[in-house]
Chain A
Amino acid sequence: MRETILDIAGYGLDYATPSGFTRALDDVSLSIARGEVLGLVGESGSGKTSLAWAIMRYLPATARETGSIRLTGQDLLKASEAEIDAIRGRRIGMVFQDPSTSLNPTLPLGEQLAEVLVRHRGLTRKQAWAEGEARLAHVGLKVPRQMMRRYPHEASGGEKQRVVIATAFACQPECIIFDEPTTALDVITARQILELFKELQAETGVASLYISHDLALVSQIASKVAVIHRGRIVEQGAVGDVFARPQDAYTKKLLAAVPRPDHRLVGMEAPEAATPLVEVEKVSVLYGRKPFLGRLLGRANTQFTGNREVSLSVMPGEILGIVGESGSGKSTLAKAMTGLNRFEGEIRFAGRRITGLSDMDRAYRREVQIIFQHPDSSLNPRQRIREILSRPLALYGEPGSRRDAAAIGELLEQVRLPAAYADRYPHQLSGGEKQRVAIARAFASKPKLVICDEITSALDVSVQASVVELLVDLQKRFGTAYLFITHDLNLVRQIAHRIAVMYRGDLVDLVDIATLSTGPLHPYTRSLLEAVPAPATAAA
């Protein structure tokens, strides 16, 4: 047995609130040995981040603790503040979720790395900068000298996360906590960061606690896994064992919720139809306006392209997935199709040509509905659910159609919410429930096409699974076509009939789901497919 680095035993954490104590962690026990990677998997609010703060001794004054957290035998709960300062960054490093917020925007990247070397290894500033440069080269940054002098806004997300990782490894710590280090990054960048993590981990043998919500990802990199739910570790063990033979009901539910491309939720073939429901022809969107003064001074046009001559079509009842990284123009297209963006080119819907916002009349808007990513933002906080749902009925309903409580209740039941929710305000609902309300609003007008713009990406895996199931169910019932925009390739492969791939404003690929693994693909599509971690059960 290798030396145990981090040993947490019977650890409990409560926060004192005006109305008593709330439990964040309950009887948590786990240990990580040198060279091991422990994947800690849980959904939001499960307490996984609280555990990271507890290990780092970064807790508010309201925290009450029991049990112990030992770093090579030393109980951190009993360590003085000075001892903790000497341990942080030196013996326990941490890599944070979002490099764009975890780096100080007004200090050069190099300074933020070098200060750790000065603090913990007693180097002079000059030595620290030289060492920092070597460190940056080591994490695969091409121009380390320039990168040292750059500010965070001058580097890409991937480059910044490499700097954060270099900082965490800088003092050869015994243990590093990785708190969802790839969640804020694009798929391909995330893949590269993950490779870097594997390399550095193998090289240094650092005991790693890898926190993630992503089971598939954890199955690839961890040797042990612990599943945390409502502050309790419900199951832990070797990765193979847990994923192949989950014992706990929650683990089973979580595993079942992970989207698997081989597990189709709808048939491979779209319903037969002679003519497309909607055709998008050479639609381009330009953002920004020509700067008056810039033009005067002969400067380049600062407008940028959201979409460049995108053409595609959706058949009736078809689910067309659109994938691409953030900024690739997926949402821009959705906005153009719903009249939220000006566009050039034309959209043909049910035989009608639409070349501008003015062509989008009530009939078109009734047939084409959109659901947004964040239900917090898409439901007006000052309206009750009743009011939110009655608008489309009032707007599109035929004369004499019902708008009464029963009609609202039906809409709610359609998305599996109790009819009594009609009297609530959005803030009284959970994230998943809010998104169901948004779905109910979109389906109130019985549309032919619903544009789903990343509607599950703000939700937890298990909630996402139930929302997707609901969408599939509605699609079967009403034969609605979906334009399903997402960055989650595994998810879209479960439900889409065809997949459109967007990259920097261009539509680079449009393939049938059947030919995705065999047919000829654009190089970007291929790298996207390769970057996506294979789902959990593959590891078994």
Chain B
Amino acid sequence: MSPAYILKRILLIGYTLLVVSLIVFAITQILPADAAVMMLGENATPDALAALRLKMGLNDPIWMQYLHWLGGVVRGDFGVSMRTGQPVAPAMIEALGRSLLLALFSILLMLAVAIPLGIVAAVRRGRAADLGVSFLSYIGVSLPEFVTATLMVLVLADWLQWLPATGYVPLTEDPLRGLRHLVLPVLTVSMILVAHVSRMVRSELVDVLHSDYIRAARLKGLSKRQVLFKHALRNALLPTITIVALDVGYLLGGVIVVEEIFALPGIGRQLIVAIQARDLPSIQAGALIMATTYAVANFLADICYAWLDRRIQYD
């Protein structure tokens, strides 16, 4: 892995964020015929509208509005929330922290469950265990988060009363209660990921197990176990890194729904609130932060992959 490769990837992140900023700006500020009317509603007085237009710089040419906004973003200034009157950035960063906690737990749980499931399914290909995993994963990928979340609340919170249905307690305040509140959201978010990743692990491992070098290893007299753990897993799990990184997109989408359902004050909930309140600066900030998270996750995955896989000469 050369410095040029890393530099190239970093430049790509820059390009990605530039494109995303353009899209977000276009959707929020250009697409609506009049952003001021959109924010204040149809019944706003002309004076109020004019004042808002002036304040938001809506009378400037579009490209100047964009550059002005982008200049602020680069300095970490996303503007002031239309809803609360507070600067957007600090609230968003705080919310992002809570969401990342949810995402991290979900990814860890997913890896802990999906990888063994995928391995078992691949090794027992065509047998009961494989069919079972395959059946579960079809159900997993076919249930939207809002359905799983609702059903889990119904069973685990309402009927069995094992877990709290909604709400959020910071881990620093009361770790145990905080964790209890996180269980349902984490379960919900990781469900689709488990289903998807276990299928990927299975198919990668099935391919690897059919490769010439695995056969060669078996014919050298190595045991099935040795061949699986030493020769096969390494090659099968490498592509999983990329798949997990790409799944961060699904994960973030899931986070939006889950935070809304469980009233978890993360960045997804902030976004929904902002969208409902038509709070443009908050929407822009939230969307940009989410895209950045995704881009950074993929950057880290690529670096990780390049570091682990010595075969590929990156330039």
Q: A residues within 8 Å of B by Cβ? A: 56, 58, 85-90, 94, 96, 98, 101-107, 112, 115-116, 119-120, 151, 153, 164, 167, 291, 293-294, 297, 299, 302
Contact = CB atoms under 8 A, between A and B. Distances in A.
B212 A98 contact: yes
A163 to B, nearest CB: 11
Contacts of B211: 101
A299 B3 CA distance: 12
- How big is chain B's contact interface, by range? 20 to 34
Most buried by A among B11, B218, B309: B218
Most buried by A among B215, B234, B235: B215
B231 A88 contact: no
B315 A119 contact: no
B212 A88 contact: no
B217 interface: yes
Contacts of B216: 94, 96, 102-103, 164
Nearest to B213: A104
A113 B213 CA distance: 13
A167 B7 contact: no
Contacts of B212: 96, 98, 101-102
Contact of A94 (B8, B219, B222): B219
Given A102-B212, A153-B310, A302 B315 contact: yes
Contacts of A299: 4, 315
Nearest to A82: B223
Contact of A293 (B8, B214, B215, B309): B8
B12 to A, nearest CB: 10
A104 B235 contact: yes
A104 B309 CA distance: 12
Interface in B178-237: 211-223, 226, 230-231, 234-235
A119 B311 contact: no
Kindly list the 10 A-B residue pairs having the minimum CB-CB distance in the complex, ordered from nearest.
A89-B221, A89-B220, A101-B212, A88-B221, A102-B216, A104-B213, A102-B212, A153-B311, A116-B220, A94-B219
Interface of B: 4, 7-8, 11, 211-223, 226, 230-231, 234-235, 238, 309-311, 315
B137 to A, nearest CB: 25
A106 B311 contact: yes
Contact of B311 (A58, A105, A291, A293): A105
A527 to B, nearest CB: 30
Nearest to A91: B221
B220 A105 contact: no
Given A291-B315, A299-B4, A105 B213 contact: yes
Contacts of A94: 216, 219
Contacts of B214: 104
Contacts of A164: 216
Contacts, number: 80
A88 B223 CA distance: 10
Contacts of A293: 4, 7-8, 11
Nearest to A152: B311
A119 B213 contact: no
A107 B233 CA distance: 12
A297 B7 CA distance: 10
B235 A85 contact: no
15 contacts: A87-B221, A88-B221, A89-B222, A98-B212, A101-B211, A102-B215, A104-B231, A116-B221, A119-B222, A151-B310, A151-B311, A167-B220, A291-B315, A293-B8, A294-B4
A119 B4 contact: no
Contacts of B235: 104-106
Given A105-B235, A119-B220, 11 more contacts: A58-B219, A87-B221, A88-B220, A94-B216, A103-B213, A104-B213, A104-B235, A106-B311, A107-B234, A297-B4, A297-B7
Contact of B221 (A86, A104, A107, A112): A86
B221 A106 contact: no
A204 B238 CA distance: 40
A120 B218 contact: no
A299 B235 CA distance: 31
A85 B224 CA distance: 9
Contacts of A103: 213, 216
Contacts of A101: 211-213
A116 B222 CA distance: 8
A539 to B, nearest CB: 31
Most buried by B among A105, A120, A291: A105
Contacts of A96: 212, 216
B155 to A, nearest CB: 41
Contact of B310 (A90, A106, A120): A106
A115 B222 contact: yes
Most buried by B among A98, A115, A164: A115
Contacts of A112: 217
Nearest to A153: B311
A338 B226 CA distance: 51
Given A153-B310, A294-B4, A294-B315, A58 B215 contact: yes
A93 to B, nearest CB: 8
Given A293-B8, A294-B315, A102 B213 contact: yes
Nearest to B238: A106
A103 B311 CA distance: 13
Contacts of A107: 230-231, 234
Contacts of A120: 221
A167 B188 CA distance: 50
A104 B213 CA distance: 5
Contacts of A302: 315
Contacts of B217: 104, 112
Contact of A56 (B4, B219, B226, B231): B219
Nearest to A88: B221
A2 B221 CA distance: 27
B171 to A, nearest CB: 38
Given A105-B311, A302-B315, A85 B221 contact: yes
Contacts of B311: 105-106, 151, 153
A102 B234 CA distance: 16
Nearest to B11: A293
Most buried by A among B4, B216, B235: B216
Contacts of A90: 221
A106 B234 contact: yes
A167 B219 CA distance: 11
Most buried by B among A98, A119, A302: A119
A115 B310 contact: no
A299 to B, nearest CB: 7
A426 to B, nearest CB: 26
Contacts of B7: 293, 297
A97 to B, nearest CB: 8
A58 B235 CA distance: 22
Nearest to A86: B221
Most buried by A among B213, B238, B309, B311: B213
Nearest to B310: A151
A88 B213 CA distance: 15
A183 B158 CA distance: 68
